[in-house]
Amino acid sequence: MIEPNRHYTELQDSYFFLELSRRSEEYLTAHPGAHIYKLGIGDVSQPLCPAVIAALHEAVDDQSTMEHFHGYLLESGTQFLREAIAQHYARRGVTVAEDEVFISSGAGDELGEILDLFDPVSRALVIEPAYPAYVDTNIMSGREIVHLPAGRDCGFLPLPDGDLDADLIYICSPNNPTGAAFPREKLQAWVDFANRRGAVILFDAAYEAFIEDADVPHSIFEIPGAETCAIEICSLSKTAGFTGTRLGYTVLPKALKRGGMSLNAMWMRNRTTRTNGVSYILQKGAAAVFTPEGQRQIREQIAVYKHNAKTLMAALDKTGLWYCGGRNAPYLWMQCPDGMDSWSFFDLLLEKAQIVGTPGVGFGACGEGYFRFTIFGSPDDTQEAAKRLAELF
Ligand code: PLP
């Protein structure tokens, strides 16, 4: 009999998010007709922008003609999209070659699959609180996890300490769930550390489009030395509303080598085996995001979310409660009042203000006592929720 991968027994069950919806439903059953203000979801609410929609329609039409029809495409992505992305980096002063860009079905898929490149005996460092997939994907592949708890003292942006023993290093900046974003200088410290140790940084840039501050890099490749130690995983999910459409990209420099092997060449080999690529239609839609028109339209959408962030931040400022995030990320991370644990605060907010957010403990033990709000809700709901928050405290 074939043995299953027993590492799956080490995974925590999905109790957390089930419990979250169970408590919300219980409240609605007890209070029929009540309106819940949802500040918990990490999903976008704005539709795809017109430039993307037009490109998608055009691509569908292409597929209906002998002349423009496309069958199998390059596994690593079409040249037009990889070029558009390389040029997007160039406009920001970062040199990325077209064959260092790999098109994916999203950051979530890529974060799991990229682990194929590394020895399962290596150690993965996860800065916590963290996006749960970092821990779960490594548990599934049997890798040892080094948890690095972060806290308010360092603004949830810890620096590497010489004793850290890690081979793979996850950095999510701007961060989900804390909304904190690494400034250039701190990111440089991680890059230097990784190069010294021969470690590889998996840089999750899913939220780079929300950055406002000039000293916060959009790409780890803005940091000298990153090309020899980092892989950048990007997504159009939050940047351009692709959560349900699905498209991401990964930048893996040719200068990144370990044990005499080129990780870029290995990833190309992996892609040609593991996938037949992303559909032509989606890649055409994605390419529209990088046109001047597409960029202008997605900035307008992000501005709607940013307005929500300002509304929530103003409310939290009034309460005097400690929080971070909101400026460079679509998340606000607040400390629960009076030493409350994060589930008790969830219950209190639901009961007294009909607001649903996410208890921090769902992102690792050191998230206990904290709470996450997102800015992806509707402006009306966010406005009312902010008013209720300010009144409650
Ligand atoms: N990385 C982080 C930090 C996220 O928060 C998410 C989604 O919420 C993802 C990756 C997954 O993104 P995608 O929709 O591209 O799979």
CATH number assigned to the domain comprising residue 383? 3.90.1150.10
Q: Tell me, using a 6 A CB cutoff, whether residue 248 lines ligand 1.
A: yes
* pLDDT of res. 360: 97
For residues 66 and 34, membership in a common domain is answered with: no
CATH of residue 112? 3.40.640.10
Note whether 360 and 368 are within 8 A (CB).
yes
Same-domain pairing of 283 and 343: no
User: Three-class SS string for 174-231?
Assistant: CCCCCCCCCCHHHHHHHHHHHHHHCCEEEEECCCHHHCCCCCCCCCHHHCCCHHHCEE
Tell whether 118 is covered by a domain.
yes
DSSP state of 330: S
User: What pLDDT is stored for residue 92 in this prediction?
Assistant: 94
* 229 in a structural domain: yes
Q: Is 243 in the pocket of ligand 1 (CB under 6 A)?
A: yes
Looking at the 3D structure of the chain, how many domains does it have? 2
Ligand 1 within 6 A of 130 CB? Answer: no
CA pair distance 283, 82, nearest whole angstrom: 9
Q: Is residue 1 in a domain?
A: no
Residues 17 and 70 in one domain: no
- Same domain assignment for residues 99 and 248: yes
Ligand 1 centre from 319 Cα, in Å? 30
Whether 373 is in a domain gets the answer: yes
Same domain, yes or no, for 336 and 266?
no
Rounded-to-integer distance, Cα 190 and Cα 332, Å: 24
In total, the chain counts a number of residues equal to: 393
For residue 23, being part of any structural domain is answered with: yes
Task: Please tell me the distance between residue 272's alpha carbon and the centre of ligand 1 in angstroms.
Answer: 24
Structure-token match 């962030």, residue found: 309
- In terms of domains, do 74 and 97 share one? yes
In a domain, 205, yes or no: yes
Nearest atom of ligand 1 to the alpha carbon of 42: 8
Q: Nearest-CA neighbor of 252 among 92, 109, 117?
A: 117
Q: 90 and 24 in one domain?
A: no
Same domain, 111 and 230: yes
Q: In a structure prediction context, what are the per-residue pLDDT tens digits for the chain, which is 393 residues long?
A: 999 999 999 998 777 888 999 999 999 999 999 999 999 988 999 999 999 999 999 999 999 999 999 999 999 999 999 999 999 999 999 999 999 999 999 999 999 999 999 999 999 999 999 999 999 999 999 999 999 999 999 999 999 987 899 999 999 999 999 999 999 999 999 999 999 999 999 999 999 999 999 999 999 999 999 999 999 999 999 999 999 999 999 999 999 999 999 999 999 999 999 999 999 999 999 999 999 999 999 999 999 999 999 999 999 999 999 999 999 999 999 999 999 999 999 999 999 999 999 999 999 999 999 999 999 999 999 999 999 999 998
Per-residue pLDDT at 163: 86
Protein residue with its CA nearest to atom 5 in ligand 1 = 176
Cα 171 to Cα 47: distance, rounded to the nearest angstrom: 29
Domain carrying residue 376:
6-48+294-392
Look at residue 81 in the predicted model and tell me its pLDDT: 98
CA 152, CA 171: separation in Å to the nearest integer? 17
Q: Say whether both 286 and 327 belong to one domain.
A: no
C-alpha count within 13 angstroms, C-beta hemisphere, residue 44:
25
* Cα distance between residue 238 and residue 331, in whole Å: 12
Give domain status of residue 150, yes or no: yes
Mutation pick for ligand 1 pocket among 43, 204, 282 (CB with most ligand atoms within 8 Å): 204
The pLDDT value given to residue 42 = 85
Give residue 376 CA to ligand 1 midpoint distance, Å. Answer: 14
- By the 10 Å C-beta count (0-12 exposed, 13-18 middle, 19+ buried), 146 is classed as middle
For ligand 1, whether the C-beta of 354 sits within 6 Å is: no
Given 291, 309, 338, the domain boundary residue is 291
Q: Is residue 244 part of a domain?
A: yes
The first and second tokens of residue 390, run together, are 């300010």
Residues 35, 132, single domain; the answer is no
Q: Residues 54, 42: one domain?
A: no
Which of 234, 257, 291 finishes a domain? 291
pTM for the model stands at 0.97
Token pair listed for 227:
């090309």
Same domain, 203 and 92: yes
Residue 60: its pLDDT value, please?
98
d(CA 369, CA 343): 9
Residue 209 alpha carbon to ligand 1 centre in Å: 13
- C-beta 245 within 6 A of ligand 1: no
Question: How high is the pLDDT of residue 285?
Answer: 98
From 291, 308, 339, the end of a domain falls on 291
